[in-house]
Structure 1
Amino acid sequence: MDSNNFKIINVSSTAISIEILDPSKFNDQFNLGSYIKIPYKSNDEKFVIGIIENYRIKDHDSGTEDTEPNDPSFILEVKLTGTLDIKEGGSVFERGGHGIPLPPNNGISLLTNDELESIFTTRIKENERFSFSKLTTTNLSIPINGNKFFNKHFAIVGSTGSGKSHTVAKVLQEAISAKNGKYDGLNNSHIVIFDIHGEYEQAFPNAQILNASNLSLPYWMLNGDELEQMFLDTGDRNNYNQSSVLRKIITDNKQKYNPDISKVHFDSPIKFDIREVFNCLCNFQNETINAKAPERVMIREEAGGYTGVNSITDTDGLLLTPDERMEKYFSEIFDFIPNRGSNVNKGVYADGTLDKFVERLENKIKNSRLDFLFGESSRDISFEETVRQFISYSIEKESNITIINLGGIPFEVLSITVSLISRILFDFGFYFSKTIPDGQKCKTPLLLLYEEAHIYVPKSDLLKYRSSKLAIERIAKEGRKYGVTLGIVSQRPSEISETIFSQCNNFIAMRLTNPEDQNYVKRLLPDTLGNLTETLPTLQAGEALLIGESIVLPSLVTIDRCSPFPKSSDIEYYEIWKEKWENVDFENILSEWKK
């Protein structure tokens, strides 16, 4: 390479322009994204390092017919990134602090692979190096700082077909296979994937798989906001009264099942029976009282107990204290004496206030698709069993990765499901940290990876997203202190909560075709990349901009192929359409549909 063919024509604090004097001698030595070194004047050990972002053509033709036409020259636009000291003991790279390269310009050249490797390994210890990609321009495998990548929330963004799922799979496959030293069995990685489309089971055959058929999520751990979001209708004019009744009944039922706890609140994460809450609501909805003695409840009675038969033997009704009334109302749904006649009045809530409320509650707890939340196993599961299933410490199987397949979760409870699991895992990290002696590190750091995060943590103030947004935003702001970090994956980053996205310190930005998404990502990227971000809409599948605290230089990389692949390959429509007509087993499909 003839360095005399290059001339520095413009210098600023962040960029320089280099003219190629004779393009015929250039021979395409540089590409967009290539790293070059430019020496200081009279210093053959210290260089300014830059990345080629763009080039333009400089026309030397005078435009008159009397002169010979001149070939144009090229101007390389170079973004400065740092300085490199090349010494016998090894090269040292420093971000920022750019020197001013002055003529003569001898020595301008591409960085060699050895020099590039020395830059990317600067200040990254051997046991911190984590690699899953190669530089697009040189095919050189580059390491990042694995600690800074996983303990500083990261985001992977890209349009459909950009290779996003393969990137997620490759990153996590490398993480669960890494080991310090030689030992048999699993390493100590703990990863929970919220998989909205069921893509990752194929990529992680040894993972713990949870779905609507085997997941047990204790409804009694829902907080107050989640319970109201689950059962109340914000558009109902009786919403305030319904909220008051719900709080009263659930609090009393929690006290019934937890008599040893002195202070029980609506938000307390302790057991209660949702079936008994439903019984009580139905009784409140239908109760009648003695008009002359309002403290007496008018329940139909027969010998042997109150079973709801039609015979009336005591028109005075039952005299019950408030506690006795609540206890009896929990036990079963009663048949009350009708309020016909002057001696029987409607109860407090027998005016239709609770009608829609009771109907919504019944639809929820009797819906077979919600058995994972309101079934017997969810009522009886212990807190320890709940946590164990999410971090794969179950008795049946231990695994580095737990995949929560959200595909079978009804959309109306998706946000609450994600919220509850996220809160449980955050609280686990928080209280685990309390048990660790001072000076010792977290022993089980967790990574929570949210696939298609824009679906359940969107930039929206709608009540149905409130619970999941609050839970994940709390992890984004506080989780790192307790060993709980986030991986945000999305094809629509502009639709994700800004609070969550802005906490990410590392980005793998793949092809983005939507202008809103492109501009949103550019604003959030932690490095000033200039025109390099303009490549976002033209990146090939598997290519990405790798940016953040974990990598020495922002880089255009090609993600290594994962093995095995996730179940995210495009369907070959045209090839399939050309095959012979296929019959469809509608009976089998409908039976699955009705589950």
Structure 2
Amino acid sequence: MNDQPNLRQFIDEVSSFDEEAKPAPSAKVAPALETLGEVIEIAGSGSRIRMNAAKLMGLQAHADPSVAMSGQVGSQVKMTVGKAWLIANVRTLASCGDGEVVAQVDFLGEGDCDSAGHVSRFRRGVTRYPVPGAPVYPVTTDDLRSVFAADDNAHVEIGTVYPTDDIRGALYVDPMLSKHFAILGSTGTGKSTSVALILHRISQLSPEGHILMIDPHGEYSAAFKNCGEIFNVDNLQLPYWLMNFEEHCEVLLTTHGHERQRDADILAKCILAARIKGKDMSQYGKVTVDSPIPYLLTDLSGIITNEMGKLDRAGDTLPFQRLKTKLDELKADPRYTFMFSGMLVSDSMPTFISRLFRLPANGRPISIVDVSGVPSEITSVVVSVLARMVFDYAIWSRTEAQRPLLLVCEEAHRYVPKSETAEGGQAVRKILERIAKEGRKYGVSLGLITQRPSDLAEGVLSQCGTIISMRLNNDRDQACVRAAMPEGARGFLDAIPALRNRECIVCGEGVSIPIRVRFDDLEPEKRPASSDPSFAAMWRETGGEEGIIQRTIKRWRGHGR
């Protein structure tokens, strides 16, 4: 009789031990969510799972949109590992007969299991893997809210996470900018509006920031007229003497091969002489042909003439004649006034840098440089000078209070083309490649925007830590993006051809895990002037054609390009 209480106590202790030994997450799974299937194979970055086709079909009518999508390509599922939930993205689905399907999944990260069986405190990366036979469950909107929730680090919200209506998609500003980013998308996918949205949100977060955007089509002036400074050929006033020697060669040399090298040697000697003429060299120290020291175009022309006069044979004067003729053409052509005006000889470098880099920003942190009015022959040189000014300023201001700079380059494939044999534009290619490789060391961020990522130079896209990809219709472009992304994002990237307008896949450093986002609508006054014309509607309009033609021809002749 005395042993009876002891036996009862022993049974209670064993029962309590059994309760503790049960897998916590499995015991807490919401009863409304059945298992979809089980894990059948494990690999380092992903695994294969087997799911019941009837259950997948039945989920599609579920009231929770996340549950309704769970198990489909591009969606997420979850599985238990000890006391944690492991989240995986579905990459492929294939039927294996008997009413079952096999899916390849990529692991995204893991989170704790809360009292309701939902994911909480989600973390990127995987520390433990499930074993074959582990049950697989659909994810809920509450799960995804925890997975995609932005933490306290600086971030901007750009839209809603697919397939939900209320979970916000966020970009972490510091990781995205410190390791560069690329925004990709075919024409007509809403790329320009999406770029404007992201830059507006960054500007709102950091109204004292420093952003320089190269706009080759004049699209973004309308979008940033109220929160930025707009520069074009009418007010840019880019001094010619800011060009380095390589950029001078691209503008002034017209020959190729052996003759070009001879002309370049002469030009180098003459430019260096022009830079130091009449200067107190004690205030400059060592001066090279690349030093951004003001000089007069008339001095350069005079030095060329003097050097030519020292020659005995008439045939030897041809290189000098070519340089002088080209210089005279630039000075006389009104299209080049914004750069080769005699009024730009004063040392305006401090003012130019202050205006262009928004130092200080005064609540208008972005400069839009519209190069659509720049003659096509020197557009790449202008972009090269602007990009190099950003990089050089960052290098030479290292000992000062740091002011990180963001350089955004629209139509990037024009300036960093894939083929190194592409004629012209070698200076701009070199500086943008250098910024991509070294910019983060000096506080320079690069944002590349392009509709043809396959035409970008090899390696440049892979230097971008964050890739925001909208729909890409070309197979080569899709393959290029896929190759630049980590293994775990492949399932998301497979959805790129199926994205709707103003939807994107975001992968990389700027997000905790890859996400599919529907961009927010942007206010009309903040949108770029890039909308496609309605042919059907505009072809119904008539009247006033004579005035339209007259005004167009006047502008055409006045700014001949």
> TM class by shorter-chain length?
0.7 to 0.9
- The one of 31, 40, 48 equivalent to 1:16 is 48
Quote the offset at 1:263 in angstroms.
4.0
1:357 aligned to 2:383? no
Tell me the residue number matched to 2:94: 56
1:132 aligned to 2:158? yes
Q: Distance in 2 between matches of 1:102 and 1:254?
A: 73
1:273 aligned to 2:296? yes
- The one of 240, 246, 249 equivalent to 1:225 is 246
Quote the offset at 1:16 in angstroms.
2.5
Tell me the residue number matched to 1:109: 138
TM, length-normalised to structure 1: 0.79
User: Equivalent residue of 2:271, what SS?
Assistant: helix
Q: Which moved more, 1:86-95 or 1:212-221?
A: 86-95
Contact kept? 2:215, 2:368, Cα under 8 Å: yes
Change (3 A) 1:589 1:275: farther
Contact kept? 2:40, 2:133, Cα under 8 Å: no
Tell me the residue number matched to 2:176: 149
1:425 aligned to 2:401? no
Tell me the residue number matched to 1:449: 408
Tell me the residue number matched to 1:253: 274
Aligned amino acid, residue 81 of structure 1: L
- The one of 408, 419, 422 equivalent to 1:460 is 419
Quote the offset at 1:558 in angstroms.
1.1
Unaligned runs of 5+ residues in structure 1 are 61-71, 180-186, 290-344, 437-441
Q: Distance in 1 between matches of 2:453 and 2:407?
A: 18
1:366 aligned to 2:329? no
- The one of 113, 119, 139 equivalent to 1:86 is 113
Larger Cα-atom Rg: 1
- The one of 68, 72, 76 equivalent to 1:35 is 76
1:21-41 alpha-carbon deviations (Å, 9 max, x no partner): 53564445224332222224x
Quote the offset at 1:177 in angstroms.
1.1
User: Equivalent residue of 1:126, what SS?
Assistant: coil
Q: Distance in 2 between matches of 1:21 and 1:239?
A: 69
1:545 aligned to 2:510? no
1:33-73 alpha-carbon deviations (Å, 9 max, x no partner): 32222224xx5x4222112233334444xxxxxxxxxxx44
Q: Which moved more, 1:273-282 or 1:552-561?
A: 273-282
Contact kept? 2:159, 2:517, Cα under 8 Å: yes
Quote the offset at 1:17 in angstroms.
1.9
Quote the offset at 1:466 in angstroms.
0.9
Contact kept? 2:197, 2:522, Cα under 8 Å: yes
CA RMSD of aligned residues (A): 2.6
Change (3 A) 1:486 1:503: same
Q: Distance in 2 between matches of 1:407 and 1:241?
A: 33
1:196 aligned to 2:216? yes
Aligned amino acid, residue 448 of structure 1: L
Contact kept? 2:237, 2:344, Cα under 8 Å: yes
Tell me the residue number matched to 2:190: 163
1:215 aligned to 2:236? yes
Aligned amino acid, residue 223 of structure 1: N
1:224-280 alpha-carbon deviations (Å, 9 max, x no partner): 111112111242753333223222222222221323246432222211111221234
Aligned amino acid, residue 385 of structure 2: L
Quote the offset at 1:394 in angstroms.
7.8
User: Equivalent residue of 1:199, what SS?
Assistant: coil
Quote the offset at 1:579 in angstroms.
2.8
Contact kept? 1:527, 1:554, Cα under 8 Å: no
TM, length-normalised to structure 2: 0.83
Q: Distance in 1 between matches of 2:452 and 2:233?
A: 26
1:565 aligned to 2:530? no
Tell me the residue number matched to 2:345: 379
1:308-343 alpha-carbon deviations (Å, 9 max, x no partner): xxxxxxxxxxxxxxxxxxxxxxxxxxxxxxxxxxxx
Where do 1:448-527 residues align within 5 Å? 448-461=407-420, 462=422, 464-527=424-487
Tell me the residue number matched to 2:489: 529
Between the aligned residues of both structures, percent identity stands at: 27
Tell me the residue number matched to 2:19: none
Change (3 A) 1:578 1:503: same
User: Equivalent residue of 2:277, what SS?
Assistant: helix
Tell me the residue number matched to 1:589: 552
Unaligned runs of 5+ residues in structure 2 are 1-30, 62-67
Quote the offset at 1:282 in angstroms.
4.3
Quote the offset at 1:160 in angstroms.
0.2
1:120 aligned to 2:145? no
Contact kept? 1:220, 1:272, Cα under 8 Å: yes
Tell me the residue number matched to 1:314: none
Change (3 A) 1:21 1:468: closer
Contact kept? 2:229, 2:366, Cα under 8 Å: yes
Change (3 A) 1:26 1:125: closer
- The one of 400, 405, 409 equivalent to 2:365 is 400
Q: Distance in 1 between matches of 2:261 and 2:111?
A: 66
